[in-house]
Amino acid sequence: MKHYLLLILFFVFSCLSAQIIKGKVVNDLEKPIANVNIYLDGTTTGTISAQDGSFSLSLPSKNNNTLVFQKDQYETFRINSSEVANKTLKVVLLRVQEIEELKIIPFTEKAYKDYINYFLSAFIGEDRENVKIKNQRSLKFSYDKENKILRVKAPQTLIIENKKLGYVIDYNLQEFKADFENKTTLFIGTSFFKETKSSDKIKLNRLNAFYGSQVHFFRSVYKGNTKEEGYTVNALSKIPNNKYPTDDELERLKNFLKNIKNTQTISLPEDIQDISRRKNNEPPYNTVITKMNIPESDYTKKTDGVLLLDFKDILQVNYYKYRYMLKKDSYIKDGYPIKQTSYLHSGGDISEIYNNGNTSDPAGLMNQGSFSTDKIDKLLPLDYEPGD
């Protein structure tokens, strides 16, 4: 399957009072494409193209989000909004070209039934009563038994209603991959928020979702006030666990299990049993705290006015979370905070931190602990401000 997309040309126009992006969306035959969703990823700022393909979108000042052009049956296009602010664009979108190909792992109805609950837990989160995917049946599932990998595709934009936070989210799921062998789950997509309700109770729910979230943490990092916001950060180093199987041992185990997969009776040799036991019971590495209560300067650096997240191994992020309550038309903290601990793994990559709490490569930053529980059910727009 091949996807095609082309951004043809930029025309600079003068606009001193506001950042505006305008232009036209057409196909490869120069015919206008109507109803293209054009939005800042993860925000409430967006528009759609008119019947003649034209559009105009006003941006918040000093914006550094990803601008998304998205329509079902067309390839999604993304570009940093700072690159196109105050410019007129001519965007050419080509349809997704379906090419016949051998599908070794087919999408099936059985796969849907077998894995829908896992997907909803990993993607939506715990609150599946208040958060629903309205077109859930459009999802397609496949499972690679040999490598123990679950993949999910969404041919249509997912329409997600979050009654608790008062939003409907148009979510363009680009990838969902659960690797059961390595116990990792990754999903990537773009999102556009539409506010549906804004009662006092919903505003309370939003406050409780925001404080202690990864977005809240990175906004604090950007402002340099993590301690004032209630965070303490420790630096951790990885120490290889010599009890965990070596790469050669893991390969032996994999080959052995592959060769006997069709055998009715399995008798595992002692050495294979030992490798399997250590793989299941021992972590690949242990961690040790090397420095406590580190300042932002220990894991960030500023280059040409850009704040970069730059650290080795792991950051341990601790936060004492208070629940907000509504009393006499005021939002107040309760008196019993709960300690939350999260772990950020850099993978050796450096990414930019934006003032809205996002980073330039969110998919490249692996997290564990409290941050990893922040699924769609707790997702707020990047332009959310406490009290909204």
Q: What is the count of structural domains for the chain?
A: 4
- Same-domain pairing of 124 and 210: no
The whole-number pLDDT of residue 148 equals 87
Cα separation of the two ends of the chain: 43
328/204: higher pLDDT: 204
> What angle (nearest 5°) sits at the alpha carbon of residue 177, between those of residues 288 and 66?
90
User: Where do runs of H (alpha helix) occur along 26-125?
Assistant: 81-84, 109-123
In a domain, 250, yes or no: yes
Which CA distances in Å does 385 have to 61, 80, 189?
15, 22, 22
- pLDDT above 70 coverage of the chain, percent: 90
Lowest-confidence segment of 62-76, 101-115, 249-263, 304-318 by average pLDDT: 101-115
Which CA distances in Å does 374 have to 79, 213, 323?
26, 7, 16
Whether the predicted pLDDT of 361 surpasses 60: yes
Among 197, 231, 261, identify where a domain stops: 197
In a domain, 349, yes or no: yes
- Which structure tokens are listed for 70? 């998205």
Question: Do residues 348 and 319 make contact, with C-beta atoms less than 8 angstroms apart?
Answer: no
In a domain, 387, yes or no: no
- Same-domain pairing of 227 and 273: no
CATH value at residue 48: 2.60.40.1120
- Same-domain pairing of 372 and 289: yes
- Same-domain pairing of 22 and 87: yes
pTM: 0.84
Q: Radius of gyration of the chain from Cα atoms?
A: 24
Query: Averaged over 235-261, what is the pLDDT?
Result: 87
Alpha-carbon span 289 to 186, nearest angstrom = 27
- Same-domain pairing of 213 and 315: yes
Alpha-carbon span 206 to 213, nearest angstrom = 11
- Same-domain pairing of 109 and 21: no
- Same-domain pairing of 33 and 68: yes
147/141: higher pLDDT: 141
Signed CA dihedral, 342, 343, 349, 350: sign only: positive
Q: How confident is the model at residue 129 (pLDDT cuts 50, 70, 90)?
A: very high
- Same-domain pairing of 82 and 223: no
29/232: higher pLDDT: 232
Mean pLDDT across the chain, nearest whole number?
A: 87
In a domain, 145, yes or no: yes
Among 46, 64, 93, identify where a domain stops: 93
**Secondary structure letter of residue 71 according to DSSP:** -
Whether the predicted pLDDT of 377 surpasses 60: yes
Query: Averaged over 117-145, what is the pLDDT?
Result: 93
In a domain, 74, yes or no: yes
Whether the predicted pLDDT of 2 surpasses 80: no
- Same-domain pairing of 341 and 276: no
Query: Averaged over 325-347, what is the pLDDT?
Result: 88
The whole-number pLDDT of residue 15 equals 40
In a domain, 388, yes or no: no
- Same-domain pairing of 153 and 215: no
Half-sphere exposure of 342 (CA within 13 A, CB side): 23
Whether the predicted pLDDT of 319 surpasses 70: yes
In a domain, 160, yes or no: yes
Which CA distances in Å does 107 have to 101, 123, 307?
13, 19, 43
Lowest-confidence segment of 15-24, 36-45, 75-84, 336-345 by average pLDDT: 15-24
The whole-number pLDDT of residue 102 equals 43
- Same-domain pairing of 344 and 288: yes
Alpha-carbon span 235 to 93, nearest angstrom = 45
- Same-domain pairing of 298 and 368: yes
Pairing of strands 149-153, 46-48: unpaired
Q: CA torsion, points 376, 134, 382, 36, in degrees to nearest 10?
A: 140
Lowest-confidence segment of 7-11, 69-73, 148-152, 195-199 by average pLDDT: 7-11
In a domain, 314, yes or no: yes
Domain that includes residue 369, residue range = 199-241+283-382
Among 143, 166, 197, identify where a domain stops: 197
The whole-number pLDDT of residue 360 equals 86
